[in-house]
Amino acid sequence: MHLTLNRTLYHPWGIFSRWIRDDGSQLMVSLTHAFPVDDTWLPIVLPGEYVMRRYQSPHFGLVWQICDVPGHTYILVHAGNFNADSKGCELAGEDIAIGDDPRTQGPDEMVTHSKAALKKFMDETAAEDMIQLTVNG
């Protein structure tokens, strides 16, 4: 299986992406933490080709891990809604919206229905041992 992760929005409060199947249809959206680098904001997983493998996380349960990310380990696809829920992992979501994060006490962009999106992702990839991932943007 091959998926493409297209980065679409870069903000200090998170970087949003769309996960695209080979037929061009969208599987889900995701949010990852934005790290300040010089005068911009960057994700941990930079553009390139990656392999994803299943991983049994002690905290998140069975999820997918993006492997061989330079300088990093345990970059997972898991549930979460806001930038603060990610330390570089991809948070699964159905859509992008504005929500109130109690940690920041204000409105922030977020991904919605994260647990449902992650379940759909896990169900759709249940027969896979490995996923080829292309990251753009």
Tokens of 87: 């330390």
Instruction: Tell which phi-psi region holds residue 40, choosing left (phi > 0), alpha (psi between -120 and 50) or beta.
Output: beta
Q: Is the distance from CB of 52 to CB of 65 less than 8 angstroms?
A: yes
User: Quick check: 104 pLDDT over 80?
Assistant: no
**Segments making up each domain of the chain, as ranges:** 2-136
Q: Mean pLDDT, to the nearest integer, of 111-118?
A: 96
CA 17 to chain centre: 7
pTM: 0.92
User: Quick check: 105 pLDDT over 80?
Assistant: no
Give the model's pLDDT for residue 15. Answer: 94
pLDDT band for position 128 (50/70/90)? very high
